[in-house]
């Protein structure tokens, strides 16, 4: 496993050093000297998304940064970030950020769609379980914020100062849960007793296929919100910015409810009734 992580770190280094160029699977495989089929499987299983998706999200994040912090023309930013035309760039940018590049520039609020992926080498050799989940402490804030930045996926617009203030309140009220692997924070959940909802559930992408979301949900239903219907919002169906969050909720037994708009972002509410607990226990994998 550690050998694979080291190899993926090499791939990520190459991608990060060539965000202005063509970084399709075949190009990267040739540069790293791997079979593209082997590289696809290895990268996807470790990072939780394909090379194409990772590259696209990283390029768009760098483009968003240039839109806010530079005066470069949009067509120049498109070329810098690997797009052959402003039209192609604008179409992809809007599909992810929900507004055109020019409007994003006018708003002057940068937030990342995808930060550089960081991997953990010293992963646990034993299986994690819900008893490993504990109440977050103030000492966890820095690692929590790092995890949030990695997994927020640009959804919705992230006001870090506001998020941090709410996190501190939740920690004081013991509404913040964390899961660590060999001392490294790999999962975090914010929930509300009053509205009976999950405000944030973030799992390091390297652990997305290890059922961590289910562990948090089991702990929440058994210890903190037993016998109650729990709600959570996520991407709407077909949103290209979704890296698998809707699928995870469905696998965990959540049912679709009404469409919403949160902070100007189109979302959908999902609910999990207490009667679905058996389905959760018999369910399985997450993405």
What is the tens place of the pLDDT at every residue in 261-287? 988 889 999 999 987 655 545 544 333
Give SS3 for 163: helix
Which candidate, 145, 173, 169, places its Cα nearest to that of 159? 145
List CB contacts of 207: < 8 A, sequence separation 6 or more: 181, 186, 187
CA–chain centroid gap for 219, Å, is 21
Q: Is 149 in the same domain as 198?
A: yes
DSSP state, residue 266: E
Which candidate, 60, 247, 243, 233, places its Cα nearest to that of 151? 243
Number of structural domains (the chain) is 2
How far apart, in whole angstroms, are the C-alpha atoms of residue 50 and residue 232? Answer: 26
| Average pLDDT for 195-223 | 92
What is the tens place of the pLDDT at every residue in 70-84? 999 999 999 998 898
222: which 2 tokens?
A: 């058994």
What is the tens place of the pLDDT at every residue in 136-147? 999 999 999 999
Q: Is 72 in the same domain as 201?
A: no
State the alpha helices, DSSP H only, in the chain.
Answer: 2-16, 25-32, 36-47, 51-69, 74-80, 86-97, 101-107, 141-151, 160-172, 212-219, 245-251, 277-282
pLDDT attached to residue 7: 84
Which candidate, 251, 205, 215, 229, places its Cα nearest to that of 44? 205
With a pLDDT cut of 70, the percent of the chain lying above it is: 92
Q: What's 144's domain CATH number? A: 3.40.630.30
On whether residue 117 sits in a domain, the answer given is: no
The boundaries of the domain holding residue 229 are 130-282
What is the tens place of the pLDDT at every residue in 37-56? 989 998 988 888 899 999 99
Q: Is 181 in the same domain as 57?
A: no
36: which 2 tokens?
A: 């593209």
What angle is formed at CA 12 by the lines to CA 6 and CA 14, rounded to 5 degrees?
110
Q: Is 168 in the same domain as 261?
A: yes
Q: Is 141 in the same domain as 273?
A: yes
């Amino acid at each position: 496993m550690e050998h694979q992580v080291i190899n993926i770190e090499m791939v990520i280094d190459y991608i990060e050093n060539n965000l202005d160029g063509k970084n399709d699977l075949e190009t990267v495989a040739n540069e790293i000297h791997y079979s593209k089929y082997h590289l696809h499987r290895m990268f996807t299983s470790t990072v939780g998304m394909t090379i194409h998706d990772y590259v696209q999200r990283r390029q768009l994040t760098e483009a968003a940064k240039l839109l806010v912090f530079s005066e470069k023309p949009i067509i120049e930013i498109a070329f810098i970030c690997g797009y052959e035309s402003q039209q192609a760039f604008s179409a992809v940018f809007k599909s992810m950020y929900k507004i055109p590049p020019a409007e994003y520039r006018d708003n002057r609020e940068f937030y990342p769609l995808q930060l550089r992926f960081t991997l953990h080498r010293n992963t646990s050799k034993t299986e994690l379980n819900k008893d490993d989940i504990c109440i977050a402490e103030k000492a966890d804030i820095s690692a929590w914020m790092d995890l949030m930045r990695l997994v927020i996926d640009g959804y919705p617009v992230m006001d870090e100062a506001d998020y941090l203030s709410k996190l501190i309140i939740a920690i004081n009220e013991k509404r913040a849960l964390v899961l660590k692997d060999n001392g490294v924070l790999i999962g975090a959940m914010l929930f509300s007793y009053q509205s009976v909802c999950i405000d944030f559930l973030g799992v390091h992408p390297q652990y997305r296929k290890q059922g961590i979301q289910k562990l948090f949900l089991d702990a929440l239903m058994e210890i903190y919100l037993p016998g109650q219907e729990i709600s959570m919002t996520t991407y709407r169906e077909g949103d290209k910015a979704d890296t698998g969050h809707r699928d995870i909720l469905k696998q965990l037994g959540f049912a679709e409810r009404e469409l919403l708009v949160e902070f100007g972002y189109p979302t959908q509410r999902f609910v999990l009734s207490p009667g679905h607990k058996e389905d959760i226990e018999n369910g399985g994998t997450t993405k």
